[in-house]
């Protein structure tokens, strides 16, 4: 199944997006609804709260949320106690609902505090709904009867726009009419979510298509960081490090709009052990790629063995290379971007090569041919990069 995290600040209109996704067939799991369910009358959650905080936070209708809030917001110990009661029950109920979803389903987890609680890496994709602050204040005052002062205080207490943008794979601007954001959601469902789910389920990478150079995108590093976080969570201790490598990691360098990442492992057996976890996280293995092309200074192909995965997400193409720490391929992947950053003339020469090959393969629907054609330049560049590394004392960044 495809796991989608949905979040947004108060008044952003997140429920509008959740409702539309449900209409399309998504299984929507509402974190706020679950938080209420686990402390309803007759639950062991409510009993635990009564035991911890006394009868004064219980009313005839169940939990007196206002009184409980007064207790926990002024007492850190009380807040920790409450979280210890509520969070495990929310987690267990969420897991139960996730497990009940169909294997070919798209599960949308509606979590108001997704960013604040650093939950983004747990999802295949994170959607953030946003609107201008003044519009959000207007909606909260109009729809919830909250004072303007309270509305602004709630907004200020939540994650900043900067933090939400850092977590967002998809930014949904809901500052206009509902029809505008709904049209974007419709396209997102058809063009990305449905195809992404099928790719994850069938363990296939997203089709990349014709190689075309894109202008440098200042968001490439942030996009790589989101992918790195997902990979790190899926790989656990078997990944010694996860790095953003390749052309998109070099500032100012035009490149194919494909993020390259490297997972460092202690042995190829560890890379093989990660195959299922990475596939489930949206990075299926491509078994026919098992080595890099050897460079003249290290011609033994056995030294260049690796494992290769690629993103299943049709909206964010990515390559994931698993290499053994200390191997020539591992070293080259880390050295090459640093060398280009430090040597503008080499960067320009590389760009000229890329432009020439992109023009030659402009009608080729297979990027593997484009990549293979670059190897002649890489062979010569590898020796020059190693000479630079020896001259400058370059070592991989810890």
The total number of residues written for the chain in this structure: 398
The backbone region for 368, taken as left when phi is positive above 0, alpha when psi lies in -120 to 50, beta otherwise, is alpha
**Is residue 220 a contact partner of residue 256, using CB atoms and an 8 Å limit?**
no
CA distance 237 to 216: 33
Side-chain half-sphere exposure of 16, counting CA atoms within 13 A = 26
Number of H helices, E strands in the chain: 17, 13
Which residues belong to the annotated binding site for ATP? 11-16
**To 5 degrees, how large is the angle CA 171–CA 215–CA 306?**
85
DSSP collapsed to 3 states, 50-64: HHHHCHHHEECCEEC
Which residues belong to the annotated binding site? 11-16
> What Rg value do the Cα atoms of the chain yield, rounded?
25
DSSP 297-355: TB--GGGGB-EEEE---TTS-EEEEEEETTSHHHHHHHHHHHHHHH-HHHHHHHHHHHH
Using CA atoms, how far residue 351 sits from 215, 216, 247, in Å, is: 11, 12, 10
Ramachandran angles phi, psi of 316, nearest 5° = -150, 95
Using CA atoms, how far residue 297 sits from 228, 239, 329, 336, in Å, is: 30, 27, 12, 15
Residue closest to 255 by CA, chosen among 339, 161, 350, 345: 350
Residue closest to 193 by CA, chosen among 277, 107, 276, 109: 107
**Is residue 314 a contact partner of residue 257, using CB atoms and an 8 Å limit?**
no
């Amino acid at each position: 199944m495809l796991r989608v995290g949905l979040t947004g600040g108060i008044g952003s209109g997140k429920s509008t997006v959740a409702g539309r996704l449900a209409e399309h067939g998504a299984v929507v799991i509402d974190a706020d609804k679950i938080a209420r369910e686990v402390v309803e009358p007759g639950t062991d959650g409510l009993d635990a709260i009564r035991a911890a905080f006394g009868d004064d936070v219980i009313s005839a209708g169940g939990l007196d949320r206002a009184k409980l809030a007064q207790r926990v917001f002024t007492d850190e110990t009380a807040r920790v106690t409450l979280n210890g009661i509520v969070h495990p029950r929310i987690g267990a109920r969420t897991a139960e609902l996730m497990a009940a979803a169909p294997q070919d389903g798209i599960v949308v987890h509606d979590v108001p505090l997704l960013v604040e609680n650093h939950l983004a890496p747990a999802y295949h994709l994170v959607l953030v709904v946003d609107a201008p602050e003044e519009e959000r204040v207007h909606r909260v005052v109009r729809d919830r009867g909250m004072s303007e002062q309270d509305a602004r205080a709630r907004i200020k207490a939540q994650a900043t726009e900067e933090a939400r943008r850092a977590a967002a794979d998809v930014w949904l601007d809901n500052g206009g009419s509902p029809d505008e954001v709904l049209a974007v959601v419709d396209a997102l469902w058809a063009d990305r979510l449905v195809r992404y789910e099928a790719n994850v389920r069938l363990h296939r990478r997203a089709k990349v298509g014709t190689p075309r150079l894109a202008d440098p995108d200042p968001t490439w590093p942030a996009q790589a960081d989101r992918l790195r976080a997902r990979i790190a969570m899926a790989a656990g201790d078997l990944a010694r490090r996860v790095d953003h490598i390749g052309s998109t990691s070099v500032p100012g360098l035009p490149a194919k709009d494909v993020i390259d990442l490297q997972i460092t492992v202690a042995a190829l057996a560890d890379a093989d052990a990660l195959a299922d976890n990475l596939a489930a996280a949206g990075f299926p293995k491509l078994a026919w790629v098992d080595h890099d092309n050897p460079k003249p200074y290290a011609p033994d192909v056995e030294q260049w063995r690796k494992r290769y995965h690629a993103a299943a997400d049709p909206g964010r193409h990515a390559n994931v290379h698993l290499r053994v720490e200390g191997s020539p391929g591992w070293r080259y992947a880390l050295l090459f971007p640093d060398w280009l950053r430090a040597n503008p003339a080499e960067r320009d020469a590389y760009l000229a090569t890329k432009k020439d090959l992109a023009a030659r393969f402009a009608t080729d629907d297979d990027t593997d041919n484009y990549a293979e054609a670059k190897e002649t330049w890489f062979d010569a560049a590898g020796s020059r990069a190693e000479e630079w590394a020896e001259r400058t004392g370059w070592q991989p960044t810890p």
